[in-house]
Amino acid sequence: MSPALNPGAAPLSRRAVGDAVDRVRGTFTFAVDRRIEGTLHAVAVRSVAPHGRITSIDAADALAVPGVVAVIDGSHVAADDGISPWYGENRADQPVLAIGKVRYVGEPVALVIADSRATAEAAAAQVWVDIEELPHVVDPVLAGAPDAPQLHDEWPNNDSGTWTLVHGDAERAMATAAHVHTATYTSPAQNHVPMEPHSATGAWLPDGSLEVWTGTQSPYVVRQRLATMFRLDPDRVRVRGDSLGGAFGSKIDLRLEGLVALASRAVGAPVRMELRRDEVFQSASKHAATVTMTTGVDEDGLLVARIIDIVWNSGAYALQTPRSSRTGMIRSPGPYRIPHVLARSVARYTNTVPTGPFRGAMTGQVCWAHESAADEIAAELGVDPVEWRRRNLLRDGDAFATGDVMHEMHYVDLLTAVDDALTADAPPTSSTRTRTRRRGRGVAAVLKTTRTPTRSEAQVQVDAEGQVAVRTSAVEMGQGAAASLAEMAARRLDMPAEDVSVSWPDTGWTPFDQTTSSSRTTFATGLAVERAASDLRACIAQQVAQPWGITPDQVVHRDGCVSSPGDPAQRMTYADVVRSSGAGELVGTGRYETPPGAGRLDPETSQGNVSVHFHQGVVGVEVEVDTETGRVHVLRAHGATYAGRLIDAERARKQIEGGMLFGLGQAVMEETLYEAGQMINPNLSDYQIPSLLDVPLTSSTVLSDADPDAEPHGIGESTVPPMAPAVANAVHDAVGVRIRDLPVTAEKVLRALREKQADDRKN
């Protein structure tokens, strides 16, 4: 079946600039549209119990359904010497199919493989799974109690990662502070809600190698996981990607790839899976978190110390949590100059959907705390919250909580841009403040580290037809990465970006890239592409310089042609150069890697160089609150970020404004709800995301560095985390109530208003 999965030897590629037309017409091809002839279809049988021992699985009825080919479960997997079923980034705690035990509602227990998805779906309902239920726990704080149900024997106390950050002596400094503020802020589990559900197709080739087509953000991570799981050399696993219809972190690491590979191995044919929406909800979640923050300031309102305690809900399996919970902890002090910081972070397993990165990963939860606290502290000091931030925000030369000495800090300018945008209009007059509608404004800032250490590789090549192709393993998922990479290559080659094609990821052909996440693609993959394009440019110049009797650096590149400055007759297209070289194609290679030692932190104190640069974002919103219903309307939002060297202003603005809309849902409406250990709203009717009708007036500021040698900075996440605290701060400005538990629903606001009215009457 190799030909079926292998329509072309070389990686597929497309013109990236201008793909919006296909997206609007509905002719753009996403991963879920990929159909490979002759595939069977698998559907997962999922646990209906939050925690329990599997006592029996009876597949006889399902196997009797016409069209069903096989049913496999964890016992088959455990008995197969060719499989290491447990996986995870930091600890292999998650089985590809439940083995012996289930740990959350929705966990895959068995796979039904049939000739159609409908048949597999119908038969899956006839696999009878007996589970002896165990006590379950969904709250990460309760999961830390001594008598709490234990999810994993190997990982006691439900601990899925414990970290500390020690910078100075926060406890001693706190005692000297003129004013101390403390509060606890909670944020719930939320779903990424990519419009495109997850899908993958896997097949074993006759030579014993494995090939998988999948909608993934991290082709090389998937390759490594599959190689480990099926005890193969990584070169024997080929992971081929497509464009994604949104991902937001939900398509990182192993998702369906292990399942389709397992199914294909069992039946000897290619097998495809595609998730229903409720299964998307059951596959990945944002970490719920409880953050307690104690802050000390001096007489002038300057920060002297901050002590932070974080409890993360990692869900039933750790995946990246042991690493990422530390990353979140490191960002928790916020973008402020604080001489003394102590942060303690613990992540706990619970019987809920496993968590993973979520746009603005591990940062929304802590930003919610430090930016709500910022306004509360300013209010207690009687200082304007914008002014309080201006005094305390990080500037060049300040030390961050990791000891990093900060550079390229633009917070004060970003804050000023947001404040100016919000105050540009006349302040709301009394006519807009009707009796029951009050307006308010709020701002919030965020600091996010970028993935460090990190590595990306790229190739840029030109063939005898003059076709220029960029080959990377970066993933286009609606963020415009492919278009930006095409532009970066085209500029180095002095040719139109429209003429540059960009590959889909294909680990058989495209070079290593760590992941498409953490807002790293334009930066890390982009720099690798630029270096590859420069390498190709030098290679082309080399080819013509000697025959023309000039040095390579004298060669003029323009519009996809080279020429000699002194002699108009000496002019060749890139295609001519390739043809005359006799090489068939010319290839440039490039690589970006963070400097040695970058990202290395002290294991006890988390001091060190945490990030090669810092993502900086500030958001401001104006809201209207209905005092009789609690309904919060976000009327407008302005986002600002620092882009380093700017690649494309329009795409940057779309990321900033799109990020605010993504954050809006988390701010006011999104929350996955659990009852008796089961998620009760895994659908887009009960779990809502903002619709077009809910979009406020948005605008943006992009600060950048005009230096052509400056590094581009990622900007895809910088306005997501600040949205929720900006809204809560604006609500407080409007009606004087403080919500510390996300989302800021109308009902919570109304309850707080009524309590405040009762208190006001008492006083």
Partner 1 sequence: MRPFRYHRPGTVAEAAQLIADLGEDGAILAGGTSLMTLARLGLAEPQHVVGLAGVPELCGIEGNSGDGITLGAMATLRQVETIPPVRRLAPGLAEAAHQVATVRIRNQATVGGTLVHADPSQDLPPMLMVYDAVARLTGPTRTREVPVAELFVDFFETVVDPDEILTSVHLPPASLGVIAGYLKFLPRTQDDYATISVAAGLTVVDGCIDTARIAVAGGGSTPQRCREAESALVGGGTDVAGLAAAADLVPEALDPVSDARGSGDYKREMARISTRRLLQRLVSESAT
Q: What is the binding site for partner 1 (CB under 8 A)? A: 118, 121-122, 125, 276, 278, 628-631, 668-669, 671, 673, 680-681, 683, 685-691, 693-694, 745-747, 750
**Smallest distance, Å, CB 670 to partner 1?**
9
Residue 525 DSSP symbol:
I
Would you call 498 exposed, middle or buried from its count of C-beta atoms within 10 A (0-12, 13-18, 19+)? middle
Question: Both tokens of residue 163?
Answer: 């970290």
DSSP assignment, residue 524?
I
For residue 423, give the H/E element and its range: helix 411-423
Nearer to partner 1 by C-beta: 470 or 750? 750
CB of 688 to partner 1, least distance (A): 5
Closest to partner 1 by CB, 228 or 688: 688
Distance of closest approach, residue 758 Cβ to partner 1, in angstroms: 15
Name the minimum Å distance from CB 674 to partner 1: 12
Of 583, 721, 624, 607, the residue nearest 664 (C-alpha)? 721
Nearest approach, Cβ of residue 197 and partner 1 (Å): 12
Q: Distance from first CA to last CA of the chain, Å, rounded?
A: 79
Q: Closest Cα partner for 327 from 492, 448, 155?
A: 448
The pair of structure tokens assigned to 525 is 């993959």
Closest distance between partner 1 and the C-beta of residue 274, in Å? 13
Which is closer to partner 1, CB of 464 or CB of 668? 668
- Give the nearest distance from C-beta 685 to partner 1 in angstroms: 7
The least distance separating partner 1 from the CB of residue 665, rounded to whole angstroms, comes to: 9
Tokens representing residue 266 in the block: 């069992």
Q: Which is nearer to partner 1, 578 or 661 (CB)?
A: 661
| Nearer CB in complex with partner 1: 170/689 | 689
Is the CB of residue 501 less than 8 Å from the CB of residue 470? yes
Q: Which is nearer to partner 1, 311 or 669 (CB)?
A: 669
User: DSSP per residue over 529-578, as a string?
Assistant: HHHHHHHHHHHHHHHHHHHHTS-GGG-EEETTEEEETTEEEEEEEHHHHH
Closer residue to partner 1 (CB): 646 or 668: 668
- The least CB distance from residue 634 to partner 1, in Å, is 12
- Work out how close the CB of 747 gets to partner 1 at its nearest, in angstroms, rounded to a whole number: 5
Distance CA 161, CA 66 (A): 47
**Going by C-beta distance under 8 Å and a sequence separation of 6 or more, which residues neighbour residue 7?**
none
Closer residue to partner 1 (CB): 161 or 440: 440
340-349 vs 303-315, strand pairing mode? parallel
User: CA–CA separation, 286 vs 257, rounded Å?
Assistant: 21
Cβ distance to partner 1 smaller for residue 112 or 544 = 112
Nearer to partner 1, 445 or 731 (CB): 731
What letter would DSSP give residue 577?
H
CB 581 within 8 A of CB 591: no
The CA angle 373-374-379, to the nearest 5 degrees, is 95
Burial 189-226 (b: 16+ CB within 10 A, else e): bbbbbbebbbbbbbbbbeeebbbbbbbbbbbbbbbbbb
